[in-house]
Structure 1
Amino acid sequence: MYNQVFANTTNNVENIVTTVTVKHFYTKSIDTSGWLKVKLDPSNKFAFLCDYTKVIIQKVENDRTYFLIKEGRYANNIASLSNKNAIKCLIDCSRGTGATLTVTNLKRKKEISIIRKQELNQLFADLSFNGNKARITIDSDVDYVETNPLSPYYRQILHSKPLPNGTYNILAPFTAGDKESTDYYRADPNGYKALAYDTVWFPIEYAPTYNSNFVHVGNLSEGCITCYEIQKWNDLYQYLISNRSDSDGKYVGKLIIG
């Protein structure tokens, strides 16, 4: 299946160092969820990796392909896929060196979403990315319950506010978002049937909110960069997920507001 050997080797000749080239592969979800389900070794517990996570093939044994996860929350763990799925989901490709999102033309306006069917006091803006543009909201002026357990305000009711003008790092996805928060953007009669990857949320690095702001799809923003123009999300997702701006794969790029 794979025409290279990836096992570690040693050299028994004293004072001679041998350089071994290690080839990286990248994960690709088998569906349009954006998450690849793998089995961790030796625990046999399941884990989910976002697309374009870097891995190194270790061995093919008993109809399974074993690989070392190089980045993300499961970095340095060995995982496996069936050989059939490994051929489809461990791909030989390259990633971009960093995405750039630019937010401009901020304007507050009350509007009723045709999908959420509620009037919200939206702070709309234009999001430019990879030669494209999408309408976004960066604040919906709403109360919400803080769901980030890292925040000292966990489970408290807060009021939304937009991120200040500035430049921010965008992190690679860590865990899947709540499907119930986005599925109706596809299922609703006024929704976008081709919407995909809607549970993939990209955290924005911002210490005052303990990274509780995200780039995601939807019509409601609790201070997130929310892709209000649902039809543009698939392209925005593909641009972000296919980029990493650092050697550790921690960041997909940067966000510039103002």
Structure 2
Amino acid sequence: MDKFTRRAESSGWLSVRLSRTGQLASLCEYTRVKVVRETGGRTYFTITDGFIGVGAEASLSTANAAKYLSKDGPGGAAKVTVTYSGVPTEEVSPFKGKLKQQWATLSFEGQTATVTLNSVWDGGFRPIPTGIHAILAPDYSHKTISTAPYVSATSGMVGNDVWFPIGLSGSSENSSRYIHVGHLSEGCVTVHQLERWTALYQYLISHRVAGTAGKRIGSLVVQK
């Protein structure tokens, strides 16, 4: 029986126990799993798509499986448009200090959010170029980069440790650029308008491109 994960942690992840090693792995929402058995108070399943633990058997307590595994899968491909807003201008961030930001407006499903495309200008970083790029499924929890100040400042924020990789020019390869929440961009699409992050997260995480084994969320159109 196929089911789909839901977050147990507000940061956006579900911790499952891998059968082979006994270690925990974090799965993002809407990861497809195939339930194989229930025994000893645990529900066992195979992780069947996405980028995390594909092919591995894992388990949850049966009580948690009832809470965090759903029969409802993701919708189709997502689409996000990012439009540059003029030239870089300086901003005093309450979290990161004075930064020169390349601003842009991100649009999705009739909603908008202010984003920054770069704030590090040492020659090694540059804003994401115009074109059509791929949005990939989350690769791992980015909790090592603290988002605690953003969470504290934003009521109801979820998915704060989930970063969506960008495949430049439609590639399926992670370019090391992401869509994520924050006030510092090193070439990522960084959602500076913190109160808009949760809506964008929920939109992106609940969509997948058909026929991509859960590895693609949709498309990112960048324009000037």
- Check whether TM > 0.5: yes
Q: Matched residue of 1:135: which SS? A: strand
Structure number with greater CO (CA < 8 Å, separation at least 6) is: 2
Q: Distance in 1 between matches of 2:200 and 2:140?
A: 18
8 Å contact from structure 2 (residues 13, 26) kept in 1: yes
Of 149, 154, 158, 1:184 maps to 149
**2:36 aligns to what?**
58
8 Å contact from structure 2 (residues 166, 174) kept in 1: no
Consecutive unaligned residues in structure 2, runs of 5 or more: none
What is the CA-CA distance between 1:185 and the residue it aligns to? 1.2
Bigger CA radius of gyration? 1
What amino acid sits opposite 2:80 in the alignment?
L
Q: Distance in 2 between matches of 1:35 and 1:75?
A: 16
What is the CA-CA distance between 1:32 and the residue it aligns to? 0.9
Question: CA RMSD, aligned part only?
Answer: 1.6
8 Å contact from structure 2 (residues 151, 160) kept in 1: no
Per-residue CA deviation, residues 8-40 of structure 1 (Å, 9 max, x unaligned), is xxxxxxxxxxxxxxx421001212121111111
Normalised by the size of structure 2, how large is the TM-score? 0.91
User: Is 1:168 matched with 2:133?
Assistant: yes
Of 100, 112, 131, 2:92 maps to 112
Of 207, 211, 217, 1:243 maps to 207
What is the CA-CA distance between 1:124 and the residue it aligns to? 0.4
Per-residue CA deviation, residues 117-155 of structure 1 (Å, 9 max, x unaligned), is x11110101100111000000111345xxxxxxxxxxxx
**Percent of aligned pairs with the same residue?**
38
**2:118 aligns to what?**
139
Normalised by the size of structure 1, how large is the TM-score? 0.80
The aligned length equals 217
Per-residue CA deviation, residues 53-102 of structure 1 (Å, 9 max, x unaligned), is 00111011110000111012211111100001000011111311111110
8 Å contact from structure 2 (residues 36, 44) kept in 1: yes
User: Is 1:203 matched with 2:183?
Assistant: no
What amino acid sits opposite 1:203 in the alignment?
P
**1:17 aligns to what?**
none
User: Is 1:255 matched with 2:217?
Assistant: no
What is the CA-CA distance between 1:210 and the residue it aligns to? 5.5
Kindly report which structure 2 residues correspond to 1:63-102, keeping only aligned pairs within 5 A, or say none: 63-71=41-49, 72-102=51-81
**1:41 aligns to what?**
19
8 Å contact from structure 1 (residues 33, 198) kept in 2: yes
**1:153 aligns to what?**
none
